[in-house]
Amino acid sequence: MGILRFLAAIMLAAACALYGQERIMVMKRRMVEQELWQQKLLLLKGEIQYGHTSLPELFSYLGKTQEYRVDQFFLSLSEHLAKEQLPFYTIWKQEVEELVKYLDISIEPLVLVGQQLGSVNRQTELKNLELYMQQYERELTQKRECFREQKKVVRAVSISFGLALMLLVI
Amino acid sequence: MEFIGIKSSFFHIYENRCKGGIVLGREDKVLTILPNEIRERLVKLLSEEAKLQEIRLRSGRPLAVIYDNREYFIDENGNATTNPRQGFVVRHKWIRETMEYVSNYSLYAYEEEMRQGYITIEGGHRVGLAGKIVMEGEQVTQMKHISFMNIRLSHEMIGCGRQLCRYIVEKQRVYNTLLISPPRSGKTTMLRDLVRIFSNGEGLEQGYTVGVVDERSEIAACYMGVPQNDVGVRTDVLDCCPKSQGMTMLLRSMAPQIIAVDEIGGSRDLEALKSAMNCGCSIFATVHGENMEEIRTKPILRSFVEMHLFQRYVVLSAGAKLGQVQHIYDDMGNCIYWGKQETA
């Protein structure tokens, strides 16, 4: 009986620790997506600066791996632009509203980017993107700090909770 | 109320003015670049796009079209009228939306074309643009605040050039031919069909390798490098290239038997033409003019005539019928064809 109780306590502690680890993995994946968003923007900027690729084609290329939510955002944009005849800003805003729910980034600067994306000359296009990327870099730095802190907290809480349950059971 | 009773004619199908020819159109591509509000009002006209030549969008002004060489305004219900006050007013946001569709949501990718003042879209239609120009020194660097658009519909008239073949080819020798006509009389259309006929060898002893210097993308109307018009199986196209440089490039690399250029007139054109002719190439070219007499009065063009550079001068008539040959002259100025009727 004592052994069973001991085993149960260990399993409870392990479960709590694993749950904490799972939450950390989710936060980490979100962090990866946010870093990926930055990389995709850099690619977008590079293609606009050096290539003559149209936006629908560019978005299709950026979303081709389809592994992350960010990829799906670009792919969905590309598909909507190809199929529907709507102003770019309308389609962009719809997709951005879905993206920010998952990615937890500021929506207003992104919406502002969409107001001019594809409808101004190259120089202005690049300046707009650069401005947004600078703003996003600041936001990302804060999020990295936040993630580091949250990781510690979640780990500590999950392990502590597990130990507390273990003690209760024993 | 002025209302022109051409509504009934919108639902008839018109054949090509040239005997035996077929008019082709690509109205579906034009539809895809127009916003809903404008498309709804033009759908009737676009179903009869054989005669529809231009669609004009002007911010804050009534929607206008050039149909069968006449200008009409389109009202709220999509009917044509000559009274501009009844016209459906185009809003600026629709012009902006049209620009998005024309540029495939990527205006930055069309900066070079916009400096020229137009963009060629799929289907070979040309969208002329006007707005605020930004200069750097004497160079146009960009165009902003686009508020005026002129969508020129591309029309092929397959077969309209057949009537000329007997006059411009003898056995296998192709004469240097100059097409003369006022604006909007079909000289580019005729040139395009001649290119197609000679490239395919239609009704001829053989097909010819044709090089086209398409400076304004009007002959082949290339979109992403692909000709949207039928210019024949043996035709190579240099798109958006200045004529003088283009002819030299074609001669060096593509070994054309015939070179086709549109709207010659400058001294550089003359030099390039002479060079091409010296290489044994035949030339098909067009020039603005009412008749031979006008050509003889213009300094550069007069020298073309005096040097007997061209063996055939084809004068097209101005008027409702596109591609109608009025006269054909030989290099000595003798009229070898005189008539207003099309020949078989």
> Averaged over A91-118, what is the pLDDT?
91
Q: What pLDDT, on the 0 to 100 scale, is given for residue B168?
A: 93
> Averaged over A127-147, what is the pLDDT?
93
Query: Cα(A5)–Cα(A166) distance, rounded to whole angstroms?
Result: 9
Q: What pLDDT, on the 0 to 100 scale, is given for residue A2?
A: 82
Q: Which residues of chain B have pLDDT under 50?
A: 1-25, 341-344
| Mutation to test the A interface, candidates B30, B38, B105, most A Cβ within 10 Å | B105
Give the residue among B295, B302, B280 at the shortest CA–CA distance from B314: B295
Q: What pLDDT, on the 0 to 100 scale, is given for residue B20?
A: 38
Determine, for residues B106 and A54 on separate chains, whether the beta-carbon distance falls below 8 Å.
yes
Q: What pLDDT, on the 0 to 100 scale, is given for residue B5?
A: 38
Contact residues, chain B, for A122 at CB < 8 Å: 108, 111
Q: What pLDDT, on the 0 to 100 scale, is given for residue B211?
A: 96
Q: Per CB distance under 8 Å, which residues of A are interface residues toward B?
A: 48, 52-56, 58, 81, 85, 87-88, 118-122, 125
Among B99, B104, B108, beta carbon nearest to A125: B108
Q: What pLDDT, on the 0 to 100 scale, is given for residue B4?
A: 39
Contact residues, chain A, for B99 at CB < 8 Å: 119
Please report which residue ranges of A51-121 form alpha helices under DSSP H. Answer: 55-62, 69-83, 88-103, 107-116
Which tens digit of pLDDT belongs to each residue from B47-104? 765 678 899 999 999 999 998 888 999 999 989 999 999 999 999 999 999 999 999 9
The partner residues of B139 in beta bridges, in order of sequence, read B136
Q: What pLDDT, on the 0 to 100 scale, is given for residue B169?
A: 92
Q: What pLDDT, on the 0 to 100 scale, is given for residue B64?
A: 95
Give the residue among A58, A34, A31 at the shortest CA–CA distance from A46: A58
Q: What pLDDT, on the 0 to 100 scale, is given for residue B48?
A: 66
> Averaged over A92-114, what is the pLDDT?
90
Domain boundaries, chain A: 2-169
> Averaged over A98-116, what is the pLDDT?
89
Please report which residue ranges of chain B form alpha helices under DSSP H. Answer: 27-33, 36-47, 92-102, 111-116, 162-168, 187-200, 243-253, 267-278, 292-297, 299-306
Q: Which residue of B has its CA nearest to A119?
A: B107
DSSP string across B59-84: TTSB-EEEETTEEEEEBTTS-EES-G
Q: What is the CA radius of gyration of chain A?
A: 22
Q: What is the ipTM of this complex?
A: 0.80
Query: What number does CATH give the domain B158-338?
Result: 3.40.50.300
Q: What average pLDDT does the structure give for chain A?
A: 91
User: Where along chain B do the CATH 3.40.50.300 domains lie?
Assistant: 158-338
Q: What pLDDT, on the 0 to 100 scale, is given for residue B340?
A: 59
